[in-house]
Chains A and B, each alone.
Chain A
Amino acid sequence: KAGVTQTPRYLIKTRGQQVTLSCSPISGHRSVSWYQQTPGQGLQFLFEYFSETQRNKGNFPGRFSGRQFSNSRSEMNVSTLELGDSALYLCASSSPDLGLAGGVRTGELFFGEGSRLTVL
């Protein structure tokens, strides 16, 4: 089974530009989450999609957006890039939700290798 694939792996942008990152989940996984990883800040939750619907969103400005397609592939977009957006962006997919009450995640997250964004 192929793992989670993220493209591009590395990219360099300048302030004010916008960027689109792509994530292909493991086949059969309908949930895709996005995280920003920076030194000292750990993994900060951006948003999570399930069956093309955003189920939850983290505390990031509106410049960060995402979407999910019918084949579960997901993209995230960052507009008007700032220096502080330089980070490793990780996406993770998880197995179909088992439907436990309360909406709490129960499945293992399978991470991609990430897209390393540098903003100059």
Chain B
Amino acid sequence: GENVEQHPSTLSVQEGDSAVIKCTYSDSASNYFPWYKQELGKRPQLIIDIRSNVGEKKDQRIAVTLNKTAKHFSLHITETQPEDSAVYFCAAGGSNYKLTFGKGTLLTVNP
């Protein structure tokens, strides 16, 4: 089955810096790659997603890149703010309607 590896597990940055979280996946049939943000004590929420026919997608301060050949995708957050502090999960959409998540990255933005 699909296996998603996510790095780093924790990331601490200064406000205004950029943050990058990387994920790799194993199933070459995966073609949907969403990112979810989970603030402390809250439910995960989709922040951005990308499909395999696109190499990059941007939404204001966040962007996701995808390299299908290498089977990895990354989340980039620019000009980080304290409210960006949360756990971020990457995921890969494989066969049989199953979405496999990475183990998460705890991002801390220090004011």
Contacts and interface: CB of A to CB of B under 8 A. Distances in A.
Interface string A20-44: 0000000000010101000011111
Nearest to A113: B43
A45 B100 contact: yes
Nearest to A108: B46
Interface of A: 31, 33, 35, 40-45, 48, 50, 55-56, 58-59, 90, 97, 102-106, 108-109, 111-114
Contacts of A44: 101
A42 B99 contact: no
Interface residues of B, number: 29
B103 A102 contact: no
Contact of A40 (B46, B95, B99, B103): B103
Given A45-B98, A104-B95, 12 more contacts: A33-B99, A41-B103, A42-B103, A45-B101, A102-B95, A103-B96, A105-B32, A105-B93, A105-B98, A106-B51, A108-B49, A111-B44
Contacts of B34: 108-109
Contacts of B94: 104
B98 A109 contact: no
A102 B95 CA distance: 7
B29 to A, nearest CB: 7
B43 A43 contact: no
Contact of B98 (A41, A58, A108, A111): A58
29 contacts: A31-B97, A33-B99, A40-B103, A41-B103, A42-B101, A42-B103, A43-B44, A43-B101, A43-B104, A45-B100, A48-B98, A50-B97, A56-B97, A56-B98, A58-B98, A59-B1, A90-B44, A102-B29, A102-B31, A102-B95, A103-B96, A104-B97, A105-B32, A105-B93, A105-B98, A109-B99, A112-B43, A113-B42, A114-B43
